Amino acid sequence: MLMLAVAALLSSFAVAGQIRWLIAVALIVSAYAFCFSLPLAAVVGQRGLSSRGPLSAKLVFAGSMLGAWASVVAAVVLIYAGFVSL
């Protein structure tokens, strides 16, 4: 839902094209990382709260961390774009 909402507003921001691309790429990376790690966590029975344990736990943890950090990057850049566009 967030990607759809941002897509509707992205063209109205008064920032450079690189900033718009950074927002889009960060949200896409976040979505794919969560689409990888969450079903994997359900299949292998790992929560992914730690990077310790078997390879499956490490993969779930890495996917969750990548998704979370990409979401943070998108949020920070989106706030910057909104502030610049005021």
**What is the 3-state secondary structure of 7-41?**
HHHHCCCCCCHHHHHHHHHHHHHHHHHHHHHHHHH
pLDDT of res. 9: 86
pLDDT tens readout for residues 67-76: 999 999 999 9
Answer yes or no: is 55 within a domain: yes
Number of domains observed in the structure of the chain: 1
User: What mean pLDDT value characterizes the chain?
Assistant: 92
Answer yes or no: is 11 within a domain: no
Element (H, E) at 80: helix 55-84
**1 with 24: CB under 8 angstroms?**
no
The answer, yes or no, to whether residue 60 has pLDDT greater than 80, is: yes
The answer, yes or no, to whether residue 81 has pLDDT greater than 80, is: yes
pTM: 0.88
User: CA 25, 28, 32: angle at the middle one, nearest 5?
Assistant: 140
The domain in which residue 21 lies consists of 2-6+16-84
pLDDT tens readout for residues 34-48: 999 999 999 999 888
